[in-house]
Amino acid sequence: MVEPLEDLRRRGILHVDMDAFFVGVEQRERPDLRGKLVIVGFPSERSVVLSASYEARAYGVRSAMPMANALRLCPRAIVVEPRHALYYEASRELMKLLGEYTDLVEPLSVDEAFLDVSGAVRRLGAPEKIAASIKAAVRERLGLTASVGVASSKFVAKIASARCKPDGLLVIRPEETVPYLHSLPVNALWGIGGKTAEVLARLGIHTVADLAHTPDSTLQRMLGASGLHAKALSWGIDDRRVTPQRDEKSIGAEETFGVDVTEDSVLRRELLRLAHRIAGRLRSAGLEAGTVALKLRYADFSTLSRSRALTVPTDSAQVLFEEGVRLLAALGPRPQSVRLIGLRGERLARGGGAVQLSLERRDDNWRTAEQALDAVTARFGNSSLRPASLLDDGEERRRPPSLPDAAKGPDEPTAPFG
């Protein structure tokens, strides 16, 4: 018989989750923000919270919450301009650090990852010792804090990290797994959202234990095929392996305007801003885009997308911008005003491949200028240096006049594309 501790050593899974990552990076760069009510985002009524300090969360502020709601809950919050280049650099440093412990690192996003440390226990000690070492290294080398869950499966490790935030470490051993899971509310299970939880509650299913003891036929009737998957999780059954680095398939950004837009000049200016944001992320990741895609959402919420394949992959903002403008022009007259515009680089590949040959020096000039922008932006933020055409970028038209001055920030967050 395998002893519980030996089983955990045999399959030790860690879930490392940074604490309020964007806020943490900003507080590292600006110590005056520590202990304050901080929200990373842009105070437009249609924008959302990207990250909130735990002090702001005490007021009910949460990531992905509409900014208008967040500022009503926490009117004294300091809204900080998002600096995506800085966050991606911190993410690269984090993933590099995690790779020093094991080759089996599976990033889930910029600020969290699964690690399989089973093969490292002989060299580094028990999984909980490795987790403590990672937390200390994150604090000392990155100036940030992380919460780590330790278990024998990915699902349980992720639950553990969520239950010990902020700056916590929670170990759930194999023999503790089922009793621990059965003490949780049913929405702790993956795939059980608010509406599904309401349906289950009407049938008297409130906890993971309730679901675990519900007949398979009942779960299949209520939840379909996912019902049996949820039941397996309720008993701690999750055999998925940690899969190392997954390459991004696309990188994009979009802007929802505070006031619907009809002017082509405003749309083109926003495309230029988005192109620089995307290109900076591409260069940071060492990637190039083979396709450029444009997205428009009109006032009635109808949405369309168009894309164009490039002759040569690029990481240049100028190329992305020019292609975006061509796609916009190809749409012809717009039937109504525009609520949202987005740009995306797709068919990503590692940089260093084919280079477009040109007799014009401007291609090299653009590349050199954009690399200089990367360096300045990473250090001083998005508004420190920008193309001249963005100096008068209509920020006041996107900023609701009713928001307090202390909450104003000079740029908008990146929202998901699609």
Q: Can you say which residues are annotated as belonging to the binding site for Mg(2+)?
A: 17, 111
CA distance 309 to 323: 9
Binding site as annotated, residues: 17, 111
How far are the Cα atoms of 283, 324, 338 from residue 321, in angstroms, in the given order? 15, 5, 18
CA distance 316 to 275: 8
* Residues labelled catalytic: 112
The answer to whether residues 103 and 110 touch, using CB atoms and an 8 Å cutoff, is no
The answer to whether residues 200 and 192 touch, using CB atoms and an 8 Å cutoff, is yes
Residue 293 carries which side chain, given as an amino acid letter? A
Exposure string over 274-295, b if 16+ CB within 10 A, otherwise e: bbbbbbbbbbbbebbbbbbbbb
Residue among 307, 311, 320, 319 at smallest CA distance from 354: 311
Evaluate the CA torsion angle 322, 327, 333, 334 in order and state its sign: negative
Residue among 87, 90, 68, 79 at smallest CA distance from 40: 79
Prior bond to 166 cis, omega within 30?
yes
Residue for token pair 């010990």: 164
Query: Cβ neighbours of residue 311 under 8 Å, at least 6 residues apart?
Result: 356
Residue among 172, 232, 182, 224 at smallest CA distance from 206: 182
CA distance 299 to 394: 19
CA distance 282 to 250: 9
End-to-end CA distance of the chain: 50
The answer to whether residues 348 and 288 touch, using CB atoms and an 8 Å cutoff, is yes
> What strands, in cross-sheet order, belong to the sheet with 338-350?
250-261, 338-350, 287-298, 303-314
- Both tokens of 266, joined, read 């405003």
Largest separation between any pair of C-alpha atoms in the chain: 73
